[in-house]
Amino acid sequence: MTLTDVPNTDATSGPGRPAAEVPHMKWWGWGVEGVGFHHEDKPAFAPFVLQAVGLDLGTATKAEAPSFDGLDVAPSVATPELLDALRAAVGDGNVATDDLDRVVHAYGKSLRDLVRIRANAIERTPDVVVYPADEAEVGAVVRAAVEADAVLIPFGGGSNIAGSLEALPGETRPVVSLDVGRLRRVLDLDEDSGLARIQAGALGPDLEAQLNERGWTIGHFPDSFTHSTLGGWIATRSSGMQSDKYGDIAQIVRGLRVVRAGGVVDIPAIPSASTGPSVREMIVGSEGRLGVITEATVQVHRRPEQRRINAYFFPDWAAGLAAMRAISESDAALSVTRVSDARETGFSLATSKESHGLSKFLSGTALPTIMKSKGWDLERICLSFIGFEGGAEHVKRQKRLVDAIVKQHGGMGVGTGPGVLYDQKKFDTPYLRDFLLDHGAAGDVSETAAPWSKLAGVYDGVVAAAEAAYERIGTKGWVMCHLSHSYHSGACLYFTFAFVFGDDPIGEYDVVKGAIQQAFIDHGGTISHHHGVGLEHSPWLEEDISSEGVALMRSLFTAADPGGNFNPGKILG
């Protein structure tokens, strides 16, 4: 079944489109709402976060919405010959050298990226942005760029927060940003095999809508779902909120097509093969260093008959972690296994948008009274969300298993009503970051994965490292965490941190972010579970995979791209 008629109104169609209609430009907000995500002037979480980081709105000065006209953008160094070759490849109307397109494609959406934009400290913009319409045009762009010894950086939704999209500051060669936003369709659905062939530029909502129309889902929902693409998920080894059931993107992707200067790498969608080392695995997580991903064949699933998110409380963090481990060892097959520490639980309980679910419980006295009768300290309680999907009998059976394990670990269930809170807030983290940034404060995230035996030590080490970092820079800060994905041998811990800036925003951010990353390594975690490496995490790569591991990776990139044309510097720094 070929899917060709599903409309897509979100992807770019080239530089001639007004900024207010282009998602990348909406994100930056020039002419729309201001730089970044803007949820509302004072989000529901504001009082809680402001108190946590010591930010007083009565004395803080809110930053004015940045003006694009105030930015200094260096002239493009793209040569006439290169521009002619690119126009011949994709058409004159799909090659842009204007300042707005170039700035929009200069960075991702990390705190560092937004601070530099707001501070008019853009180190290097692309010299030209191209919008190919299909794989043949991508191939023509790649050949033109390599022949001109230009740098080529693939660009999907622009949501990356690890520095994977920016050109190196000292790059003197022309830099071409290849925007795959026009490659956005579900091309084919093999219902017998549960496989869908999808173009790499398809945004999460677009590809999911096209699959849903046929009764299918990809099951991959990262925090950035509404603004990220299939190609970006693959390039950074993304994980989604329901990866416990559907797998990380590395498990979801079965086939790939990747354009290189010499041709197209075509990896067929085979269930399993012993043809190793796996070229598919080399490409997943390669961040554009091995070529441009144009298409992927992914596992898809029938939309479940039922989907339930149940909430549970545990007396403390240790009990919550132990329960998640026991669930992972059980026969339960779940879509979500998540538990927040006491700090994030307090944050969640303070930020419900509607008076139902948890807020309904807490507006009275029943739940706190029950907890106190159990001897619980309400300052230490931890909130958990467990997801169940499938047929009615399957969901009922899985819930019985989970309920028994929760009870064994001293926890209690509070039903499905609070699941609304989970669905309300699952894409909200970027709004927190931008609200804080508007008021002179930092808010960001960093995540890791570790074996079950080391998880508690990683958590304690990171919290201690973050608090020590706040002390070093002389500010009040906040750090909170949740376990977001469970595996047979361990889990992912996802940390959110915030603090008020002093005189050196990026320098202070580096102290805190660096302390957290080093704590991951020191206590047995990895440097990134699902945000990729880029430039942001590359300083810790050798400690993560060993010096010989780095040497092996460097040899691969050098042999595959001797001219250093494909997104140089990423992953290895």
Alpha-carbon span 68 to 132, nearest angstrom:
26
Do 317 and 380 meet the contact criterion of CB atoms below 8 Å apart? yes
Consult the annotation and say whether 290 binds a ligand.
yes
pLDDT at 347: 82
Q: Which helix (H) or strand (E) holds 292?
A: strand 292-299
pTM of the model: 0.89
Alpha-carbon span 390 to 374, nearest angstrom:
34
Consult the annotation and say whether 237 binds a ligand.
yes
CA dihedral (352, 353, 355, 357) positive or negative:
negative
Max Cα–Cα distance, the chain, nearest Å: 77
Consult the annotation and say whether 223 binds a ligand.
yes
Q: Can you say how many angstroms the Cα of residue 362 is from the centroid of all Cα atoms in its chain?
A: 32
β-pair partners for 383: 313
CA distances to 157, 170, 211 from 183, in Å: 12, 31, 16
Cα–Cα nearest to 387, from 224, 530, 494, 244:
244
Alpha-carbon span 67 to 34, nearest angstrom:
8
Consult the annotation and say whether 36 binds a ligand.
no
DSSP string, 157-206: SS--SSS-SPPPTT--S-EEEEE-TT---EEEEETTTTEEEEETT-BHHH
Consult the annotation and say whether 421 binds a ligand.
no
**Residue that the structure tokens 């926890």 belong to:** 411
Alpha-carbon span 322 to 452, nearest angstrom:
9
Alpha-carbon span 510 to 540, nearest angstrom:
13
Provide the residue type at 429 as one letter.
Answer: T
Consult the annotation and say whether 433 binds a ligand.
yes
- Cite the DSSP H helix spans in 358-483: 358-363, 366-373, 392-408, 419-425, 429-438, 452-473
Alpha-carbon span 176 to 129, nearest angstrom:
6
Write down how long the chain is: 573
Is 494 tagged catalytic? yes
Consult the annotation and say whether 38 binds a ligand.
no
Alpha-carbon span 453 to 513, nearest angstrom:
24
Q: Write out the two tokens for 408.
A: 């064994």
Consult the annotation and say whether 239 binds a ligand.
yes
Consult the annotation and say whether 236 binds a ligand.
yes
Consult the annotation and say whether 125 binds a ligand.
no
- Cite the DSSP H helix spans in 482-567: 505-522, 541-545, 547-560
Do 102 and 73 meet the contact criterion of CB atoms below 8 Å apart? yes
Consult the annotation and say whether 288 binds a ligand.
yes
Q: Write out the two tokens for 230.
A: 């299939």
**Residue that the structure tokens 């975690």 belong to:** 525
Consult the annotation and say whether 243 binds a ligand.
no
Alpha-carbon span 545 to 183, nearest angstrom:
34
Q: Which helix (H) or strand (E) holds 499?
A: strand 490-500
Cα–Cα nearest to 226, from 24, 65, 434, 418:
24
**Which residues does 7 contact at the CB level (< 8 Å), separation at least 6?**
none
Cα–Cα nearest to 218, from 203, 227, 470:
203
Q: Write out the two tokens for 318.
A: 């240790």
CA distances to 74, 83, 391, 534 from 155, in Å: 20, 18, 39, 13
With 0-12 / 13-18 / 19 or more C-beta atoms within 10 angstroms meaning exposed / middle / buried, residue 229 is: buried
Do 168 and 124 meet the contact criterion of CB atoms below 8 Å apart? yes
pLDDT string in tens for the chain (573-residue length): 334 333 333 334 344 333 333 444 333 333 323 333 333 444 444 555 667 776 665 566 666 667 788 899 999 999 999 999 999 999 999 999 999 999 999 999 999 999 999 889 999 999 999 999 999 999 999 999 999 999 999 999 999 999 999 999 999 999 999 999 999 999 999 999 999 999 999 999 999 999 999 999 999 999 899 999 999 999 999 999 999 999 999 999 999 999 999 999 999 999 999 998 999 999 999 999 999 999 999 999 999 999 999 999 999 999 999 999 999 999 999 999 999 999 998 888 776 555 444 555 555 557 888 899 999 999 999 999 999 999 999 999 999 999 999 999 999 999 887 766 666 566 566 667 777 888 788 889 999 999 999 999 999 999 999 999 999 999 989 999 999 999 999 999 999 999 998 889 999 999 999 999 999 999 999 999 999 999 999 999 999 999 999 999 999 999 999 999 999 999 998
Catalytic member of 246, 459, 494, 509: 494
Alpha-carbon span 273 to 371, nearest angstrom:
52
Cα-atom radius of gyration of the chain, to the nearest Å? 24
Alpha-carbon span 182 to 207, nearest angstrom:
13
**Residue that the structure tokens 């080239």 belong to:** 14
Consult the annotation and say whether 224 binds a ligand.
yes
**Residue that the structure tokens 């040497």 belong to:** 551
